[in-house]
């Protein structure tokens, strides 16, 4: 059994050396190795791979099981080159697609309402931080984790440029800012330093104790702000999230291009690069949302509107 575990550890080390984080995938793979050990198996079999993949809590989306099986399949292909007895589970054994839930597309008025609700939070530093964070998410389409991960040295107010050092899949990128955004971030930095004299983090966004604002706490606070702003989900839909600000930015940008007569398909790689998508394919499905929203009469948060929000 030590051979399988060692092979899995070597495999993960090899892929991580190539730049893959494999945090969750690594945990799943080692869980599968434990499953093999408990079954007394000398190598991977499709039967054992499937029996492990379906060991999920009740109510989990079936596509999660496919993801677990995919982790095993990729490792099995690697192992098969070393151990021909290792079976590679065939593709298509389980459902592979997550049902896409339509995101909430915020209007400029709703973004303003969220920022107003944030400004009303009791602690002045907390209010300032969340008001600025929401504004930044709205005008850049950044991920919450990327914004919370910014260090002060990543915010170049002279050049009007943010440096995201560790985006999704470990990709770094630069995010140019509109002058109004630069001005807002400069004001935040000055007021932050006045409200929090003792800071124990290089992070740009801080909490009331002077530590880096943790991305994991943002959804809870955002839900409070959403309720205060009176933003409700569409009938049958889920509650609007902070991440939906990212969707709103992308859709608004593309709808603005359509209205201006710009070749959206030619410009899509620019948007993909700006928001940190791996390739335009990851951005392309937003077009489906944009086509539906453009004709519903709502005023979308286009570039100029969002810069002023």
Residues known to be catalytic: 143, 168, 243, 246, 277, 286
Q: State the DSSP H helix or E strand holding residue 174, giving kind and residue range, or none if neither.
A: strand 173-176
Token pair in block for residue 198: 């003792």
C-alpha span between 173 and 160 (Å, rounded): 14
Is 188 in contact with 152 (CB distance < 8 Å)? no
- How many helices (H) and strands (E) would you count in the chain? 14, 3
Report the SS3 class of residue 294. Answer: coil
Cα–Cα distances in Å, from 38 out to 92, 173, 251, 304? 26, 44, 49, 60
Token pair in block for residue 221: 């606070």
> E-assigned strands of 37-130?
none
Is 118 in contact with 127 (CB distance < 8 Å)? yes
């Amino acid at each position: 059994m030590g051979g399988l575990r060692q092979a899995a550890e070597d495999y993960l080390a090899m892929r991580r050396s190539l730049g893959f984080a494999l945090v969750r995938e690594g945990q799943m793979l080692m869980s599968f190795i434990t499953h093999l050990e408990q079954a007394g198996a000398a190598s991977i079999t499709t039967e054992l791979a499937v029996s492990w993949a379906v060991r999920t809590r009740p109510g989990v989306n079936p596509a999660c099981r496919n993801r677990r099986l995919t982790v095993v399949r990729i490792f099995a292909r690697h192992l098969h080159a070393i151990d021909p007895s290792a079976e590679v589970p065939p593709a298509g054994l389980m459902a592979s697609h997550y049902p896409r839930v339509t995101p909430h597309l915020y209007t400029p008025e709703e973004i303003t309402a969220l920022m107003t609700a944030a400004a009303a939070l009791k602690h002045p530093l907390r209010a300032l931080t969340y008001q600025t964070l929401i504004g930044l998410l709205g005008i850049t389409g950044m991920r919450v984790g990327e914004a919370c991960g910014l260090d002060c040295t990543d915010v170049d107010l002279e050049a009007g440029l943010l440096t995201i050092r560790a985006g999704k899949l470990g990709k770094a990128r630069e995010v140019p800012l509109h002058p109004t955004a630069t001005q807002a971030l400069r004001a935040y930095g000055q007021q932050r330093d006045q409200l929090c004299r003792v800071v124990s983090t290089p992070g740009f966004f801080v909490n009331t104790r002077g530590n880096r604002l943790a991305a994991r706490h943002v959804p809870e606070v955002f839900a409070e702000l959403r309720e205060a702003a009176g933003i409700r989900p569409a009938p049958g839909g889920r509650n609007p999230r902070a991440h939906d600000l990212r969707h709103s930015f992308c859709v608004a940008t593309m709808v603005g291009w359509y209205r201006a007569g710009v070749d959206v398909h030619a410009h899509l790689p620019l948007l993909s690069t700006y928001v940190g998508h791996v390739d335009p394919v990851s951005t392309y499905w937003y077009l489906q949302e944009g086509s539906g929203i453009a004709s519903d009469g709502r005023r979308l948060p286009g570039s100029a509107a969002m810069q002023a929000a």
